[in-house]
Amino acid sequence: MELLVLLSSGIGQTLGITFGALLLGSVLAVPLAALRRSELPAASTAAKILIEGIRGVPPIVWLLLIYFALGETDLKLTTFQASVIGLGIVSTAYIAEIYRSGLDAIPGGQFEAADALGMPFGAKFFKVITPQAATVVIPPLATFAIGLLKDSALASVIGAQDITFRAFQEAQANLNGLTVFMWAALLYILLSIPIAALARYTGSRLTRKVAA
Amino acid sequence: MNFSVHNTPLDTPVPGTGSTAGTAPILELRDIRIEYKGHEVVHGVSLTVQRGEVIALIGPSGAGKSSLLRSINFLEQPSAGQILVNGQQVQGQAGRRGAIARNKALATHRRDVGMVFQQFNLFPHLTALENVVLAQVHSLGRNKDEAVARARQELAHVGLTGHEDKYPAKCSGGQQQRIAIARALAMDPQLMLFDEPTSSLDPELGVEVLNTMKRLASEGMTMLVVTHEMHFAEDVADRVVFMADGAVVEEGPAEQVMLHPASERAKTFLSAVRGR
Amino acid sequence: MIESVLAMVPEFIPGLGISLLVTIASLVLGLPLGILLALGSLFAARPLQYTCIGLIELGRGIPGLIMLYLVYFGLPQMGVVMDALPASIIALGLMTGAYTAEIFVAGFRAVPQGQWEACGTLALSYWKSLRLVILPQAIKIVVPPLIGWTIMLFQATSLAYAISVPELMSRAYNYASVTFEYALAFTLAGLMYLAVTLLGLWLFRRVGGRRRSLSAAKVAVPAGA
């Protein structure tokens, strides 16, 4: 029980890093996805190289690169900031692909219909395209978010004081690694359940709305 | 005619097309009921098939024709009723989702009954020849050479000489369905079941398959065919069974049912189908 | 800078070798485990079936780093002490078992029911149907996602850095902590991971990944392994 309280003190950082990176990725992925779908071959190729390049490098490399390499400069980052930025970069690439497949899933006729009705770009995008894309995008986004929650454990490697970090310290001090890391594993699984539930709920709600 | 609603004593001579009076019918269904997810979709159907007979099962979709046909092979387990082959009741027990025979009796029964599916269900990783060889070797226990020779013969029979080494994906739908027919014929079935064999084919490819079936019929194969091809029912079938809502509404010689249906239901259906 | 890179490469190459070794050893350990878990979760009797499903979910639900720590720091609590290298192989092998089990299950399920029915009507036995008809088709379906997993697994070997297995990432870190060329060392290490990943991706396309991108390769494998 004491152990659980100790580990729980890392929940704040774990969730902070996860959602920080998710937010950063969700925003930065918008222009990247747009670029990826661009009709200019040069633009879409550049986006593709960027996406595959980011994803071809393990997240831990990004974390160390951001933390230590930027540490060489005057820009001194906290472990938390470095974690959010490092995992945010990785998220950007993955989420851009999720957005892209969401947009690809919308029949071309929808764009044409909106154009034919003379809808301005904003209305077309937010009233026609986004609601439809959201239903396709939310389930993979939630799967990704759960993956990201697990990946956030990597932040402990650069010293961010998340669940894994607390567990690591406790295990080093008292040599009770099995107990400690089993509790930590349980905690991660528990944290991922609401994300999955939220995804299922919003997913089904949006589907109903579009289907209706 | 020789369709009986109630149990027929096994030794009762049955009048009818090409039947040998005094011997048991090749297939007899007695009061077959089929449930699907707690819903009864076939409400007690009985049907007798004589050796050499070609029977067309027609009717609107959802009538239970396919379910009835599939129950003969226990791909659907009947919830009640009996299935007799040559007067012997088949004690069928199939495994998961009706697919694999759980007992010897059903395996034996299935070797006697050839089945042709709407979606062909050819083995995509095997060539046409290998498709026809596989079960001969692994189910009948024929030796490889004999099975290959027989497979070539059956493929020739359905007009596919020269296509032996093609994979199903490289064949047209009509060719695939004819391979499937050859695969079933190579097992020396006493009876062939066809479940909408042309429904997933373009009309001109369906003709190839229908011609093959016509030839089988003329060679004396006993056939039970679920079909939407009214011409086939009219021209090839000896008898036509019209089903609707899980029951047989009308049955009789092909000419009678197709040209002079007695029931309103059959009249409506036939005029609707012909009107297309 | 070129000089620095030239100095690093020979230092890093053995690390890359260890990364690849861990990848292959984890596959050797994990694939049979994955097949067993898949068969168990598909065909075993109830209690065993649920156990297998539970183990798959557990293996996929635990962060890779925690799995690594469980084996390396956890097992000693039960008196099982091992070196970092075998510990990393066991941890990643367990993860491989769980993730590939899911792939195998999907492969079996992707073989259409009509194939079973065709086997049934030809009176093939259960094992013959499985061996002659279902498995050959399932394997074909399963190869692209397995290559996708292998790419993920290769990247995940970088976790072993956390327990000081002398793989690529550790080499880079150790080198940089002496020369203070962090940016260069990590960039070079990253490029080496990228190169192997792209090679794997090329292989993935060769064997017929239906969609041609990393996202397709990773589609059966959610991020965060």
Residue pLDDT, tens place only, C96-151: 999 999 999 999 889 999 999 999 999 999 889 989 999 899 988 899 899 999 99
Contacts of B114 in chain C (CB under 8 A): 121
Specify the higher pLDDT residue, B194 or A125: B194
Q: Residue type at A110?
A: Q
Contact C49/B at CB under 8 A: no
Domain C2-217 = CATH 1.10.3720.10 = yes
pLDDT band at C74 (very low <50, low <70, confident <90, very high): very high
- Residue C60 near residue C102, CB atoms below 8 Å: yes
Contact B142/C at CB under 8 A: no
- Residues B45-55 have a mean pLDDT of 95
Res B65 pLDDT > 90? yes
Q: Residue type at C124?
A: L
Contact B105/C at CB under 8 A: no
Greatest pairwise CA separation for chain C in angstroms: 71
Res A208 pLDDT > 80? no
Res B60 pLDDT > 60? yes
Contacts for B3 with CB less than 8 Å, ≥ 6 apart: B46, B47, B48, B239, B241, B248, B251, B252
C and B touch with 3+ CB pairs <8 Å, answer yes
- Residues C84-98 have a mean pLDDT of 97
pLDDT band at C214 (very low <50, low <70, confident <90, very high): very low
Q: Which backbone phi and psi does B226 adopt, to 5 degrees?
A: -85, 125
Res B16 pLDDT > 50? no
Res B21 pLDDT > 60? no
Q: What pLDDT, on a 0 to 100 scale, did the predictor assign at position A38?
A: 87
Q: Residue A36 region, left (φ>0) first, then alpha (ψ -120 to 50), else beta? A: alpha
pLDDT band at C206 (very low <50, low <70, confident <90, very high): confident
Q: Are A175 and C76 within 8 A, CB to CB?
A: yes
Residue B127, helix vs strand vs coil = coil
Domains in chain A: boundaries: 2-211
Q: What pLDDT, on a 0 to 100 scale, did the predictor assign at position A151?
A: 95
- What is A2-211's CATH superfamily? MetI-like (1.10.3720.10)
Q: Name the residue facing C114 among B94, B111, B119 (closest C-beta).
A: B119
- Counting one residue from B and one from C, how many pairs have CB atoms under 8 Å apart? 81
Q: Are A150 and C64 within 8 A, CB to CB?
A: yes
Contact B72/C at CB under 8 A: no
Residue B40, helix vs strand vs coil = strand
Interface with A, mutate which of C20, C66, C169, C182 (most A CBs under 10 A): C66
- Residue B132 near residue B155, CB atoms below 8 Å: yes
Lowest mean pLDDT among A41-50, A191-200, B263-272, C55-64: A191-200
Contacts of B123 in chain C (CB under 8 A): 115, 118, 133, 137
Q: Are C124 and B117 within 8 A, CB to CB?
A: no
Q: What pLDDT, on a 0 to 100 scale, did the predictor assign at position A210?
A: 60
C-alpha R_g of chain A: 20
Q: Residue B141 region, left (φ>0) first, then alpha (ψ -120 to 50), else beta? A: left
Using CB atoms, list chains with 3+ pairs below 8 Å to chain B.
C
Structure confidence by residue, pLDDT tens digits, C32-53: 999 999 989 988 888 999 999 9
Instruction: Give the integer Cα–Cα distance in Å for B59 and B243.
Output: 5
CA of A131, closest CA in chain C: separation in Å? 23
Structure confidence by residue, pLDDT tens digits, B222-261: 999 999 999 999 999 999 999 999 999 999 999 999 999 9
* End-to-end Cα separation, chain C, in angstroms: 34
Instruction: Give the integer Cα–Cα distance in Å for B46 and B38.
Output: 21
Structure confidence by residue, pLDDT tens digits, B187-232: 999 999 999 999 999 988 999 999 999 999 999 999 999 999 999 9
Q: Which among C61, C65, C141, C154 has a CA at the least distance from the CA of C105?
A: C141
Q: What pLDDT, on a 0 to 100 scale, did the predictor assign at position A206?
A: 67
Q: Are C123 and B135 within 8 A, CB to CB?
A: yes
Q: Which among B215, B267, B259 has a CA at the least distance from the CA of B233?
A: B259
Contacts for B201 with CB less than 8 Å, ≥ 6 apart: B173, B174, B177, B209
Instruction: Give the integer Cα–Cα distance in Å for B210 and B231.
Output: 10
Q: What ipTM score was computed for the predicted complex, to two decimals?
A: 0.88
Domains in chain C: boundaries: 2-217
Contact C136/B at CB under 8 A: yes
pLDDT band at C222 (very low <50, low <70, confident <90, very high): very low
Q: Are C116 and B97 within 8 A, CB to CB?
A: yes
pLDDT band at A212 (very low <50, low <70, confident <90, very high): very low
Q: Are A65 and C190 within 8 A, CB to CB?
A: yes
Contact C132/B at CB under 8 A: yes
Q: What pLDDT, on a 0 to 100 scale, did the predictor assign at position C211?
A: 45
Q: What pLDDT, on a 0 to 100 scale, did the predictor assign at position B150?
A: 97
Instruction: Give the integer Cα–Cα distance in Å for C163 and A195.
Output: 30
Q: What pLDDT, on a 0 to 100 scale, did the predictor assign at position C209?
A: 52
- Residues B169-175 have a mean pLDDT of 95
Contacts of B100 in chain C (CB under 8 A): 116, 119-120, 124-126, 129
Contact B103/C at CB under 8 A: no
Specify the higher pLDDT residue, B274 or C22: C22
**B51-74+93-275, what's its fold?**
Rossmann fold (3.40.50)
Contacts of C124 in chain B (CB under 8 A): 100, 134-135, 138-139
Contacts of B177 in chain C (CB under 8 A): none
Q: Name the residue facing B99 among C120, C136, C140 (closest C-beta).
A: C120
Query: What is the pTM (predicted TM-score) of this model?
Result: 0.79
Nearest CA in chain A to C58: A189
Q: What pLDDT, on a 0 to 100 scale, did the predictor assign at position C218?
A: 45
Q: Are A52 and C182 within 8 A, CB to CB?
A: no
Q: Name the residue facing A60 among C66, C69, C169 (closest C-beta).
A: C169
Task: Report the percentage of chain A scoring pLDDT > 70.
Answer: 96
Using CB atoms, list chains with 3+ pairs below 8 Å to chain C.
A, B
Q: What pLDDT, on a 0 to 100 scale, did the predictor assign at position B98?
A: 62
pLDDT band at B96 (very low <50, low <70, confident <90, very high): low
Structure confidence by residue, pLDDT tens digits, B128-143: 999 999 999 999 999 9
Nearest CA in chain A to C189: A61
Res C221 pLDDT > 70? no
Q: Are B100 and C119 within 8 A, CB to CB?
A: yes
Give the DSSP H or E segment for B241. Answer: strand B239-244
A and B touch with 3+ CB pairs <8 Å, answer no
- Residues A62-76 have a mean pLDDT of 84
Contact B169/C at CB under 8 A: no
Res C31 pLDDT > 50? yes
Res B13 pLDDT > 50? no
Contact C125/B at CB under 8 A: yes
Q: Name the residue facing C77 among A64, A178, A184 (closest C-beta).
A: A178
Specify the higher pLDDT residue, B244 or B98: B244
Q: What pLDDT, on a 0 to 100 scale, did the predictor assign at position A204?
A: 73
Contacts for A126 with CB less than 8 Å, ≥ 6 apart: none
Q: Are C123 and B101 within 8 A, CB to CB?
A: yes
Torsion of Cα atoms, C132 then C134 then C140 then C144, to 10°: -150
Distances (CA, A) of B264 to B245, B253, B255, B259: 14, 18, 17, 13
Burial (CB count within 10 angstroms: exposed 0-12, middle 13-18, buried 19+), residue B86: middle
Specify the higher pLDDT residue, A117 or A61: A61
Nearest CA in chain A to C160: A60
Q: What pLDDT, on a 0 to 100 scale, did the predictor assign at position B172?
A: 95
Q: Are A153 and C182 within 8 A, CB to CB?
A: no
